[in-house]
C-alpha cells in the first residue's frame, strides 16, 4: 500500500473517530484505528521498520472489522427489547439484591413499558410492588388457604396489571378460598424460590398456615439455576447452583466467590462492553459449564430443596407448573419430571390454550403470555387441585 493509500486510511480513521466519538460502545474500534494510524504515520515518517507496517495493517483491519460490526449492530441486527419504568418515587425502585441478585424495591407503584425497535409491546402498565418485592391481589375475607407463586416473568405477569397475574387469576378461580401472593420477577428462576423460602420474614404476613406453593417453569429456567455468564455479568449477586462430583447439590454461590467463574465473567463483561465484534459474534453458551441434562437435574434438585423449605414453614404441597409453551424437548422433560417426582414435587403439565395460538401471546413480537393464556393456566391449575366428583 502506497503513501497515498495510508494517508487515505489515516484520514478515514480520524474522520470516523471525530464523527462518532470515543464512547464506551466505540472504544475498541477507536483504539484499533488510533494504533493503526500512529503505526502508519511512524512507517511513513521513517520509510523503514516493517514491523510498523505490520502493526498498522493489523490494527487498521481490526478497526475496520469493528466498524463493520458496529454498523451491523445498529442497522441490520434485529433490535433488542427495551424496558422503561416510571415510578412514584424518584429512584431506588429497582436495585441489586444480595439474596436474589436484583429486585424491584417496594413499596412502589410502577408504570411499565416495553418496546422492540419502534414497536410498542405494552405501555404504562401499572405494577404494584409491596415492601417485600411482591405482587399481591385484592384482599379476600374468605381465604382459608394461601397460594404462593414463584418463578420468572410468566409468574410475575410481565405486561399485565396485578389483577391479571397468575396468582390473582387463581385466587379468583378459587372464589377467594385461596389468598395469592406472587414472589416472582422477570429473569428469576428456581434459585430465587429456594433462597426466598429460607427467609422467614418474607412470609411473616401469610396468615393461613396451609396452602400451596407453585413454581411456573419454562425451558430456559435450567440456565437460570446453573451458571449463566450473561446473568452473572449483569447481576454479580445472582445465585447459582451446581452438582458436585458425587451428585450432591452445591450452592447457592455467586460468580465472585469462584475464581475461575469470576475470571470468565470479568473477561466476558469487558469484551462485551468494549468490542462490537465480541458482542455480535460470541455465543454466550460457549461459556456454559454444564450439559443440558446436568442443568435439568440441578434445577429439579433445587426445586426439591425449595419444597423442603416450604414445608418447614407451612402445611401444603409444592407444585411445579409446566407452562403450555416454552417446554423442554420430550427427552429432557421426561428426565425433569422424573427428578421432580423423586424429590416429592407435584408436577402439573398445562396443555396449550385452544384456538388461535397468537391469542396466547401478549404481542406478536414477544412470547410473554396474554391475560387470556394466564386465565387458562390458572383455571387448569385450580381444576387439577380440585377433587372431581365421581
Domain ranges of the chain: 3-75, 81-226+290-385
**Percent of the residues in the chain that have a pLDDT greater than 90, as a whole number:** 55
Residue 72 has pLDDT above 70, yes or no: no
DSSP three-state, residue 297: helix
**Domain 81-226+290-385, CATH number (from 3.90.1170.20, 3.40.50.1110, 1.10.10.60, 3.90.850.10):** 3.40.50.1110
Check residues 332 and 261 and name the one with the higher pLDDT: 332
pLDDT at 82 over 80: yes
The pLDDT of residue 24 is above 50: no
Rounded (5°) CA angle 133-134-135:
135
Enclosing H/E stretch for 150 = strand 145-151
Is residue 1 over pLDDT 90?
no
Residue 331 scores a pLDDT above 50: yes
109 pLDDT exceeds 70?
yes
Question: Is the whole-model pTM more than 0.85?
Answer: no
Average pLDDT, integer, range 58-66: 66
Looking at residue 275, what is its pLDDT? Answer: 73
Residue range 192-220: average pLDDT? 96
pLDDT of residue 265: 82
Measure the CA–CA gap between 148 and 209, rounded to whole angstroms.
12
- Whether 2 shows a pLDDT value over 70: the answer reads no
Q: How would you label 201-237 residue by residue, b for 16+ Cβ within 10 Å and e otherwise?
A: ebbeeeebeebbbbbbbbbebbbbbbbbbebbbebbe
**Between these two residues, 141 and 62, which has the higher pLDDT value?**
141
Average pLDDT over residues 346-359: 96
Q: Report the mean per-residue pLDDT for the chain.
A: 84
Alpha-carbon distances of 191 from 311, 321, 388, rounded to whole Å: 17, 16, 34
Sequence-distant contacts of 243-246: CB under 8 A, at least 24 apart: 243/290, 243/294, 243/297, 243/298, 243/301
Using a 10 angstrom Cβ sphere, with 0-12 exposed, 13-18 middle and 19 or more buried, the burial of residue 50 is exposed
Amino acid at each position: 500500500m502506497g503513501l497515498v493509500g495510508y494517508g487515505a486510511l489515516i484520514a478515514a480513521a480520524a474522520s470516523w473517530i471525530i464523527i462518532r466519538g470515543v464512547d464506551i460502545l466505540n472504544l475498541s474500534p477507536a483504539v484499533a484505528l488510533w494504533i493503526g494510524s500512529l503505526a502508519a504515520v511512524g512507517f511513513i515518517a521513517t520509510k523503514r521498520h516493517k514491523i510498523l507496517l505490520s502493526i498498522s495493517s493489523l490494527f487498521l483491519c481490526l478497526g475496520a472489522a469493528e466498524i463493520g460490526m458496529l454498523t451491523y449492530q445498529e442497522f441490520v441486527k434485529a433490535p433488542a427489547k427495551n424496558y422503561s419504568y416510571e415510578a412514584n418515587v424518584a429512584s431506588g425502585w429497582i436495585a441489586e439484591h444480595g439474596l436474589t441478585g436484583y429486585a424491584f424495591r417496594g413499596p412502589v407503584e410502577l408504570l411499565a413499558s416495553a418496546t422492540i425497535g419502534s414497536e410498542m409491546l405494552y405501555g404504562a402498565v401499572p405494577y404494584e410492588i409491596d415492601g417485600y418485592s411482591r405482587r399481591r391481589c385484592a384482599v379476600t375475607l374468605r381465604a382459608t388457604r394461601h397460594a404462593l407463586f414463584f418463578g420468572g416473568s410468566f409468574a410475575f405477569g410481565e405486561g399485565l396489571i396485578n389483577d391479571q397475574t397468575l396468582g390473582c387469576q387463581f385466587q379468583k378461580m378459587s372464589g377467594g378460598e385461596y389468598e395469592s401472593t406472587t414472589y416472582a420477577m422477570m429473569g428469576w428462576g428456581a434459585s430465587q424460590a429456594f433462597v426466598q423460602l429460607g427467609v422467614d420474614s418474607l412470609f411473616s404476613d401469610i396468615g393461613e398456615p396451609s396452602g400451596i406453593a407453585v413454581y411456573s417453569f419454562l425451558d430456559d429456567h435450567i440456565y437460570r439455576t446453573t451458571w449463566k455468564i450473561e446473568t452473572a455479568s449483569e447481576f454479580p449477586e445472582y445465585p447459582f447452583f451446581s452438582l458436585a462430583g458425587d451428585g450432591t447439590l452445591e450452592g447457592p454461590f455467586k460468580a465472585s466467590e469462584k475464581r475461575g467463574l469470576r475470571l470468565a465473567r470479568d473477561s466476558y463483561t469487558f469484551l462485551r462492553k468494549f468490542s462490537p465484534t465480541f458482542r455480535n459474534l460470541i455465543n454466550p453458551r460457549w461459556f456454559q459449564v454444564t450439559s443440558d441434562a446436568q442443568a435439568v437435574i440441578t434445577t429439579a434438585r433445587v426445586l426439591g430443596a425449595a419444597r423442603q423449605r416450604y414445608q418447614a414453614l407451612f402445611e401444603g404441597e409444592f407444585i411445579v407448573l409446566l407452562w403450555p409453551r416454552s417446554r423442554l424437548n420430550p427427552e429432557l422433560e421426561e428426565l425433569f419430571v422424573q427428578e421432580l417426582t423423586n424429590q416429592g414435587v407435584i408436577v402439573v403439565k398445562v396443555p396449550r390454550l385452544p384456538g388461535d395460538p397468537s391469542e396466547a401471546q401478549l404481542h406478536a413480537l414477544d412470547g410473554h403470555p396474554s391475560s387470556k393464556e394466564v386465565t387458562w393456566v390458572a383455571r387448569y391449575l385450580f381444576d387439577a387441585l380440585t377433587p372431581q366428583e365421581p
